[in-house]
C-alpha cells in the first residue's frame, strides 16, 4: 500500500504552527542550519529485507500480523517507510531469503518507490533445503574443500543477482568459528577463510566492494573466525582495495569503544559499511538509540570527523544500514524509530564545534572537550530533522501518521494476521 499524498499534507498542515515555532527557536542558534538540513536530506539509511517481519529468538517468534508475504511486499513496506520519512531510500537483500527471481520486475517495483538496492547479503550460516553439504562446522573456513567451494559459489551467485539489481556491494557475515577448545586450528581456519574470500573477491566486478563483517560471539561460543575488527581488517588488507571492514554495533564485546574502532578504520580507509542497532548484552538487535543514545552520538561524531578528514561524502562513501530484529514491536514502527534515532545523532554530530574541540584537545582541556560534545548531544535537534523531512516531502511525525492512518490494520486486512515473513 501507498499513503495518499494528501494525507501527508493534511498531517503536516495540522502540525505546522507548532513545528515552525520550535524550528525558528532552534535554527536561530545554528548558523549553518540550511547546510545541515541538506546533509540530513541526502542521508539515506538502507532497510534490510529481513527486518520487515517480526523477529524472534531461538525460543520463539510472535508475529503481529500483516507481515510481507513476498519480496514485492517487503519492497512496498520500505517504500511506505520512505514515503513517511524520506530517509529510507534503499533496501538491502538477503539471499536466499529474498531471491529476486525476476530482477527486472523487482527493480521496477523498487523504482516505483524511489528505492535503490544497497549491499547484497550472502548466507552460509544456515543449511537450506536441498543443499548438498552442511555448514554445521563452518563454510569458508571448513576443513573440507568441497564445503568451501559450495560456499564460494553461493557468494558468487549473490554477486550475480546483485549485478542484475544494480547493487555494488557484497556483504559477508560468517558464523564460522568453533564452540569448544581444540575444535579448530585457528591458523588453518583463517587461511581457509582467506583463500575462499580471495576467490570471491576475484569474481567482484571492478566497481564493486566486499564488506567483511565481524562478530565476537554467537552462534559459535568459543571462537569466531572473523571475531573482531582486527581480524576483519586483516582480511580486508590481505584481499585488496575493494575489501572493507563492516561495523555492526551489536557485534562487540561489552564496553568495547566502538567510536575508537570507527575512527581508526576510517583513518586506514578501510571502513566500508555500518549496521545500526542497539544492545544491552550482546547482539540484541534492539531499536537504534534505545539503550545507549550517547554512544550512538559519539560514534556519529567520529564518523563525521573521520569522513571529513578524508574528504569523504557522508551519504555515498559508506553504506548505512539498519540491522535489527523486532520481537515485541511492530517492525515498521521500530524502523521509523531507528531511522529517527540515526538522523538525530547525525544532526547532533554535525553541530559539534570542531574548532573548539580541537583547541581543547591541544590544550589538554578535558572539561571543555566534554562540554563541546555534550553541548551538541543535549541540543534537541528534532525540529531540524523534522524540517529536513518536511522539505523533502515526508511527514513531520512519521510514527504518529503511521498510527493515525491505521497502516498496520490496513496491512493485516490486505495480507492476513497469520503470515510470517522470511528471515530470522
Select 175 or 422, whichever has its Cβ closest to Mn ion.
175
| Among residues 67, 248, 285, 340, the one that binds Mn ion under rule CB under 5 A | 248
Residue 285 near Mn ion by CB under 5 A? no
Q: Pick the closest to residue 300 from 351, 255, 338, 250 (CA basis).
A: 351
| Among residues 82, 142, 209, 275, the one that binds Mn ion under rule CB under 5 A | 275
Contact region for Mn ion (CB under 5 A) — 30-38, 98-106, 275-283, 407-415? 275-283
Residue 327 C-beta: closest distance to Mn ion, Å:
17
Residue 302 C-beta: closest distance to Mn ion, Å:
19
Select 89 or 250, whichever has its Cβ closest to Mn ion.
250
Residue 48 C-beta: closest distance to Mn ion, Å:
8
Contact region for Mn ion (CB under 5 A) — 67-75, 252-260, 269-277, 364-372? 269-277
How far CA 228 is from CA of 282, 315, 391, in Å, comes to 14, 25, 40
User: Which grid cell is 246?
Assistant: 563492516
How far CA 288 is from CA of 2, 281, 285, 345, in Å, comes to 25, 14, 8, 10
Q: At what angle do helices 103-112 and 71-85 cross, to 10 degrees?
A: 20
Contact region for Mn ion (CB under 5 A) — 18-26, 137-145, 241-249, 256-264? 241-249
Residue 279 C-beta: closest distance to Mn ion, Å:
12
Residue 247 C-beta: closest distance to Mn ion, Å:
9
Contact region for Mn ion (CB under 5 A) — 101-109, 320-328, 384-392, 394-402? 320-328
Select 162 or 394, whichever has its Cβ closest to Mn ion.
162
Helix (H, G, I), strand (E, B) or coil at 319: strand
Helix (H, G, I), strand (E, B) or coil at 118: strand
Helix (H, G, I), strand (E, B) or coil at 229: helix
Contact region for Mn ion (CB under 5 A) — 28-36, 124-132, 247-255, 330-338? 247-255
Number of residues that bind Mn ion (CB under 5 A): 3
- Give the number of other Cβ atoms within 10 Å of residue 51's Cβ: 30
Select 210 or 388, whichever has its Cβ closest to Mn ion.
210
**What does the radius of gyration of the chain's CA atoms come to, in whole angstroms?**
22
Residue 66 C-beta: closest distance to Mn ion, Å:
25
Residue 323 near Mn ion by CB under 5 A? yes
CA gap 261, 239 in Å, rounded: 20
CA gap 334, 327 in Å, rounded: 10
Going by their DSSP bridges, the two strands 271-276 and 319-322 should be labelled as: parallel
Residue where the block lists cell 522539505: 391
Task: Give the residues lining the site for Mn ion (CB under 5 A).
Answer: 248, 275, 323
Amino acid at each position: 500500500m501507498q499513503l495518499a499524498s494528501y494525507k501527508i499534507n493534511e498531517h503536516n498542515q495540522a502540525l505546522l504552527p507548532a513545528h515552525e515555532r520550535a524550528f525558528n527557536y532552534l535554527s536561530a542558534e545554528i548558523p549553518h542550519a540550511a547546510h545541515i538540513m541538506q546533509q540530513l536530506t541526502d542521508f539515506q539509511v538502507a532497510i534490510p529485507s529481513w527486518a520487515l517481519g517480526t523477529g524472534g529468538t531461538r525460543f520463539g517468534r510472535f508475529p503481529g500480523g500483516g507481515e510481507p508475504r513476498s519480496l514485492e511486499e517487503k519492497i512496498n513496506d520500505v517504500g511506505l517507510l520512505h514515503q513517511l520519512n524520506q530517509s529510507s531510500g534503499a533496501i538491502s537483500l538477503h539471499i536466499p531469503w529474498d531471491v529476486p527471481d525476476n530482477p527486472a520486475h523487482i527493480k521496477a517495483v523498487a523504482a516505483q518507490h524511489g528505492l535503490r538496492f544497497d549491499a547484497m547479503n550472502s548466507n552460509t550460516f544456515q543449511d537450506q533445503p536441498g543443499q548438498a553439504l552442511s555448514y554445521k562446522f563452518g563454510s569458508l573456513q571448513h576443513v573440507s574443500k568441497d564445503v568451501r567451494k559450495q560456499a564460494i559459489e553461493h557468494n558468487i551467485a549473490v554477486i550475480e543477482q546483485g549485478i542484475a539489481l544494480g547493487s555494488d556491494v557484497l556483504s559477508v557475515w560468517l558464523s564460522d568459528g568453533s564452540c569448544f577448545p581444540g575444535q579448530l586450528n585457528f591458523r588453518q581456519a583463517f587461511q581457509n577463510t582467506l583463500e575462499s574470500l580471495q576467490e570471491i573477491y576475484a569474481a567482484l566486478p571492478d566497481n564493486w566492494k566486499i564488506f567483511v563483517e565481524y562478530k565476537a560471539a554467537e552462534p559459535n561460543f568459543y571462537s569466531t573466525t572473523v571475531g573482531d575488527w582486527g581480524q576483519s581488517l586483516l582480511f580486508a588488507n590481505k584481499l585488496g582495495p575493494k575489501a572493507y571492514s563492516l561495523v555492526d554495533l551489536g557485534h562487540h564485546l561489552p564496553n568495547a569503544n566502538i567510536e575508537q574502532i570507527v575512527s581508526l578504520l576510517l583513518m586506514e580507509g578501510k571502513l566500508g559499511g555500518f549496521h545500526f542497532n542497539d544492545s544491552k548484552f550482546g547482539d540484541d538487535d534492539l531499536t537504534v538509540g534505545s539503550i545507549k543514545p550517547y554512544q550512538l552520538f559519539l560514534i556519529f561524531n567520529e564518523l563525521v570527523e573521520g569522513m571529513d578528514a578524508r574528504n569523504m561524502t557522508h551519504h555515498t562513501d559508506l553504506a548505512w544500514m539498519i540491522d535489527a530484529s523486532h520481537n515485541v514491536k511492530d517492525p515498521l514502527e521500530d524502523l521509523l524509530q531507528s531511522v529517527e534515532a540515526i538522523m538525530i545523532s547525525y544532526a547532533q554530530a554535525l553541530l559539534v564545534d570542531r574548532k573548539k574541540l580541537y583547541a581543547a584537545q591541544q590544550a589538554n582541556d578535558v572539561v571543555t572537550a566534554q562540554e563541546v560534545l555534550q553541548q551538541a548531544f543535549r541540543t534537541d535537534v528534532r525540529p531540524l530533522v523534522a524540517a529536513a523531512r518536511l522539505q523533502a516531502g515526508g511527514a513531520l511525525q512519521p510514527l504518529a501518521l503511521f498510527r493515525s492512518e491505521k497502516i498496520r490494520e490496513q496491512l493485516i486486512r490486505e495480507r492476513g494476521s497469520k503470515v510470517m515473513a522470511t528471515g530470522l
